[in-house]
Structure 1
Amino acid sequence: MAVVAENLLKSGEVSAMIRQGFISSPRLSPASSPPPKLPATVSGSSEASAFPSPLRPSFPAPRTTTLFEMMAQEGAPLRPPMRTQQHDLQERIAAVLASKGPSDLKLSVSSSNGMRIRMAAHRRVLTARSRFFAEKLAGICGRTSSRPVVVEICECDDAEVYVEAVGLMYSDDLRRMLAGEDVEKVLGLLQVSVDIKFDEGISACLDYLEAIPWSEYEEEKVTSIIGKLHIQQLSEPVREILQRVSVEPSSFANADSIFLGIFDGILQSKDKKARRDMKTLISSLLKEDVNHSNAQYNKLDVSKESLYYLCHKCLDHLMQLFSEAANVECLGDRASLMNEVAREADNVQWLVDILINKRIADEFVVLWGDQRELSTCHSKIPCMYRFEISRITAQLFVALGRGQILVSKNAKISLLRTWLEALYDDFGWMKRACREFDKKMVEDGLCATILTLPMVEQQSILLRWSDCFLSNGDNCPNMQRAFEVWWRRAFVRQYTGDPNNLQLQNVVSDDHT
């Protein structure tokens, strides 16, 4: 140690340590300060007498730890470890067991992870409460010995839960002991109680599980663990517990009618906020079913037939409302009808969104493309009332452009011929009136859909679009990307596989003739 200190002095590191306060400086040490001077003698006297002034009381300077002391403390013993949860459990259970007087049995419980808990138990309690211990200790009940019996339980899944189960045997009110415990712990106690044939513990755990609320995570654990308890005398209590989550076989036959009732109630609701909230809830539940389907459950879902039945019902109502609105002259009556139109259009959008998520919206594209009468009535209604209908068309083009709906080119052509002009007319209103309207997404969907058609159809649609765009500007969807691709296909990189495709199709819309 002295050699280390000498090396530090030579290296110049000591001065740095002094500045940082690790070593006391000789210049600052009180021991190195000069002694106080005596007062001067009085001149003119034959006897020079000195009267020293009383010394001021000195206070020792704060002691700083030196480098040598710090080095010496490196080998000091560490503090004793803090108490662990295992120690607390062992002491708590020991206090419970001690209430029955002197013990005559030593119980040792160990788990596969190396944990071992020892306790002083009582043979009469274990044999009275547990048929497992009664069977194991039956052969030594009559023996007399000054030394207690030692019982070892090895390779437990959870030694702490096993010890807790033993502690329950000493309680006269098991329900009170379990009150406030979490579901996962009680499930562990139930499994141990079944293993050691602790009937009162089993009943108390089942009563607890039947009474306590479960979270969704706990519900899966409860159904999984309880379903494995194939014990005859437990069949009725287990059935009572599982009634909370089990579905009667008759529900399978009535599922579609239940779904129809729920959907129909939502679609007819007059409360806008409640209708929106329930639509959001049902949509999220249906998406969850699609993304997290589990093979172990008999999954019930709304049928395709029910969804299309509701779609037809909404479209028929829309047609009726449009016909009435076209013949109404009173502005107040028309506004009331248009509110109904907006609600019904929103209903159709919600149903179409469900169809798209379930990948069964292909038939709706054909159905919507066939609504020529509705499209004709649509053009007779002011934009401020009818634009919600065009949002259905936009919704379909987005899904078509993303490949979420797969239909033939004839279905796409029918959709475009029936509703594209209406979409052009209402595009400006949709941008201004709909917060959630994504202009670019709709434009990308339109471009992608048009570019899947034959060149003759691309040319007809895009030449008509150019006229509309030049006239209306931003109030018309911007399909320049599709126009560029069509231009290059037609004039720059013509496909040479078929001579018929080398010539530009001189087919234009009626507006260009």
Structure 2
Amino acid sequence: MTLGGPKKRHRATEPSGSRHLSTIAVIDSSVSDKSVAEVTQTPRCAPTTTDAAGSNIFFNDSSTADVILRLFVETASSTESSSDSRSVDHCPSTSVYLHSDILRRSMYFSALLSDRWMGQSKPDDSDNLFRLNLSVPSTPGSIQSHLTVLELLYSNDFANTIDSASAALDLLAVALEFLFEDCIRSCVTFLEAVPWTEEEEKRVLNLIPFLSEEESKELLARVTPVKADSCEVMLEELILSAIHNYQNMAYVKAFVAKILRDFSSRESAKRVLEKAFNVSLKTVKESLEEYSSPDFRWHHDETEAIQRLNLHKAMTDGKHLLWLVERMIELRVADTAVKEWSEQASFTADLQRAFRDDAWRNIAPGLPAVVLRCTCKLANAVTAGTILATRSVRRKLVEDWLPVLVVCKDNVAPMLPINKSLYLELEETFLGIISTLPMSDAQELLPRCLSFSTRNVEDCPHLVTAFNTWFRRAAQPFKPDH
């Protein structure tokens, strides 16, 4: 007789909860003895328990069993004809001798062996055994997992049996089918305490809906963020740690850069980087503003110490700013940063004043290069089309930062190879941006670039090309046909 109908069973100890069963149980007293096969694997330690009289009861003991359970692999044909026990006779299967008193530890078998169902099917008079057919999924190892859980009904040896996350998941799926509460509890406890692979985590998530709220609480806590913006909060903490909290920042910055590259949401990364960019830029600007303030232009001991502090702070945060700019360009999220960088008239004025002095040389000698590299990175991204800046942004970028370049060339060791290369790159980039502007803007900005020239005209072909291009356009104006 088939136990048809619902796939969902209610647990006696949990009226509001439920377990989904994928098994199909068939009580069949017509199955002959010769259909009972050997168990595919010998029990590890011959699980035993005792009956009410104190006698030992062994798992798969044909001499004392009163139930034969046949486990067969569920196939399409067996599923379609599950009401007919004969339809599963030729499915891959194994059979095991069991004891109804032990099976009742499982609420599923307790219901299956209750008077309501057992009263409709009498044991075979020849051996006084009830015969059950139970379908199992066709996944690899499914029959063995069912046998292992049946063994645990006898042995309670959960500690030695559940020895990995994979094993716990295999057994938990079967324990949920059988409503075997002790096994469910042991599997969940083990899973709470050990790491999971990505594949194991997917399996955990698939099984969580079949657990009670209390059972799944710790598992869910591991995979459920506390807040909707948890990813952005974590990224902010990583960036702040990378630029502030570690002595050897290079390795940490490289790691955080990889995290940002691999992060799935570019918009989230953009928001986090823009926030960090604005904070660092604000710090650098405030430090230069204080350094350039008339209140600190005297060379007293106290003011000199404050000057050193301001320049050191500007240098430190300038390096952080450069790293952030590089990350934003790499992720193609630097459009807002370019716009912000093009609106720094007061900041660039403070930089010019600072670089005309000599104090920075002994305190923060690398500050000019750091600031110009930030400018060069952003300007290069504009000329490459990585950042599509508006006309006004492009013009302001050159207008505000060109004077800083000029001052640096006049005051910051222009002949050092490292500086010469940076200056030349920025010169070419500024001229490239100017070539994208209307001729009226170019006419105003190009004369300010005369400092790019050298004694040898052949050393400044970029400047020669820029002027020749402008004059060529001016001499042959385009006249559209109307």
Q: TM-score, normalised by structure 1?
A: 0.60
| Contact 1:109-1:118 at 8 Å conserved across structures | yes
2:355 is aligned, of 379, 393, 406, to 379
Measure how far apart 1:124 and its partner are.
2.7
Structure 2 equivalent of residue 349 of structure 1: 322
In structure 1, C-alpha distance between the alignment counterparts of 2:422 and 2:72, rounded to whole Å:
65
Measure how far apart 1:212 and its partner are.
0.5
Alpha carbons of structure 1 residues 442 and 311: separation in structure 2 relative to 1, 3 Å: same
In structure 1, C-alpha distance between the alignment counterparts of 2:468 and 2:142, rounded to whole Å:
70
| Contact 1:94-1:120 at 8 Å conserved across structures | no
Measure how far apart 1:482 and its partner are.
6.8
1:316 is aligned, of 270, 286, 291, to 286
Measure how far apart 1:345 and its partner are.
0.9
Measure how far apart 1:197 and its partner are.
1.8
Code of the residue aligned with 1:198 in structure 2: it is: F
Structure 1 equivalent of residue 163 of structure 2: 180
Instruction: Identify which range, 194-203 or 146-155, moves more after superposition.
Output: 146-155
Structure 1 equivalent of residue 50 of structure 2: none
Measure how far apart 1:452 and its partner are.
2.2
Structure 2 equivalent of residue 246 of structure 1: 224
| Contact 2:168-2:187 at 8 Å conserved across structures | yes
Measure how far apart 1:238 and its partner are.
0.6
In structure 2, C-alpha distance between the alignment counterparts of 1:157 and 1:194, rounded to whole Å:
17
Identity across the alignment (%): 15
Alignment deviations for residues 306-327 of structure 1 (CA, whole Å, 9 cap, x no partner): 6524432332124335669976
In structure 1, C-alpha distance between the alignment counterparts of 2:197 and 2:218, rounded to whole Å:
18
The reply on whether 1:119 has 2:119 as its aligned counterpart is no
| Contact 2:343-2:396 at 8 Å conserved across structures | no
Measure how far apart 1:109 and its partner are.
2.6
Alignment deviations for residues 430-487 of structure 1 (CA, whole Å, 9 cap, x no partner): 96279xx9999867754653332112334555565576143489998x7479739936
1:241 is paired with a residue whose SS is helix
Structure 2 equivalent of residue 412 of structure 1: 394
Alpha carbons of structure 1 residues 495 and 352: separation in structure 2 relative to 1, 3 Å: same
2:70 is aligned, of 81, 97, 107, to 107
1:288 is aligned, of 262, 272, 279, to 262
Unaligned runs of 5+ in 2: 1-38, 48-57, 78-90
| Contact 2:290-2:310 at 8 Å conserved across structures | no
2:466 is aligned, of 483, 488, 496, to 483
In structure 2, C-alpha distance between the alignment counterparts of 1:418 and 1:120, rounded to whole Å:
86
Measure how far apart 1:346 and its partner are.
0.7
In structure 2, C-alpha distance between the alignment counterparts of 1:158 and 1:293, rounded to whole Å:
41
| Contact 1:117-1:159 at 8 Å conserved across structures | no
- Once the two structures are superposed, the pairs formed by residues 153-168 of structure 1 within 5 Å of their partners are 153-154=134-135, 156-158=137-139, 160-168=141-149
Which structure is larger by alpha-carbon Rg, 1 or 2? 1
The reply on whether 1:192 has 2:168 as its aligned counterpart is no
In structure 2, C-alpha distance between the alignment counterparts of 1:142 and 1:293, rounded to whole Å:
68
The reply on whether 1:455 has 2:432 as its aligned counterpart is no
In structure 1, C-alpha distance between the alignment counterparts of 2:468 and 2:42, rounded to whole Å:
79
The reply on whether 1:132 has 2:113 as its aligned counterpart is no
| Contact 1:447-1:481 at 8 Å conserved across structures | no
Structure 2 equivalent of residue 236 of structure 1: 214
In structure 1, C-alpha distance between the alignment counterparts of 2:223 and 2:458, rounded to whole Å:
55
Alignment deviations for residues 183-214 of structure 1 (CA, whole Å, 9 cap, x no partner): 34433432232223222221111111111023
Code of the residue aligned with 1:313 in structure 2: it is: T
| Contact 2:188-2:215 at 8 Å conserved across structures | yes
- Once the two structures are superposed, the pairs formed by residues 27-426 of structure 1 within 5 Å of their partners are 90-92=40-42, 99-102=59-62, 104-112=67-75, 116-124=92-100, 127-138=103-114, 139-140=117-118, 143-146=123-126, 149-154=130-135, 156-158=137-139, 160-171=141-152, 172-181=155-164, 183-215=165-197, 218-222=200-204, 224-229=205-210, 231=211, 234-249=212-227, 267-269=243-245, 272-273=247-248, 275-291=249-265, 302=272, 307-321=277-291, 339-353=312-326, 355-356=328-329, 357=331, 358-359=333-334, 360-368=336-344, 371-380=347-356, 381-382=360-361, 384-423=366-405, 425=409
Unaligned runs of 5+ in 1: 1-88, 500-513
Measure how far apart 1:166 and its partner are.
3.0
| Contact 1:129-1:198 at 8 Å conserved across structures | yes
In structure 1, C-alpha distance between the alignment counterparts of 2:464 and 2:72, rounded to whole Å:
74
Alpha carbons of structure 1 residues 200 and 395: separation in structure 2 relative to 1, 3 Å: same
| Contact 2:379-2:430 at 8 Å conserved across structures | yes
Question: Which structure would you say has the larger RCO, counting Cα contacts within 8 Å and 6 or more residues apart?
Answer: 2
Alpha carbons of structure 1 residues 403 and 191: separation in structure 2 relative to 1, 3 Å: farther
Measure how far apart 1:364 and its partner are.
1.8
Measure how far apart 1:397 and its partner are.
0.8
Code of the residue aligned with 2:319 in structure 1: it is: D
Instruction: Identify which range, 373-382 or 462-471, moves more after superposition.
Output: 462-471
Alpha carbons of structure 1 residues 197 and 453: separation in structure 2 relative to 1, 3 Å: same
Alpha carbons of structure 1 residues 149 and 455: separation in structure 2 relative to 1, 3 Å: farther
1:453 is paired with a residue whose SS is coil
In structure 1, C-alpha distance between the alignment counterparts of 2:266 and 2:197, rounded to whole Å:
18
In structure 1, C-alpha distance between the alignment counterparts of 2:395 and 2:446, rounded to whole Å:
13
2:452 is aligned, of 468, 471, 488, to 468
1:107 is paired with a residue whose SS is strand
2:225 is paired with a residue whose SS is coil
In structure 2, C-alpha distance between the alignment counterparts of 1:256 and 1:164, rounded to whole Å:
42
In structure 1, C-alpha distance between the alignment counterparts of 2:369 and 2:299, rounded to whole Å:
19
| Contact 2:69-2:134 at 8 Å conserved across structures | no
In structure 2, C-alpha distance between the alignment counterparts of 1:286 and 1:419, rounded to whole Å:
29
Alpha carbons of structure 1 residues 493 and 94: separation in structure 2 relative to 1, 3 Å: farther
In structure 1, C-alpha distance between the alignment counterparts of 2:163 and 2:426, rounded to whole Å:
55
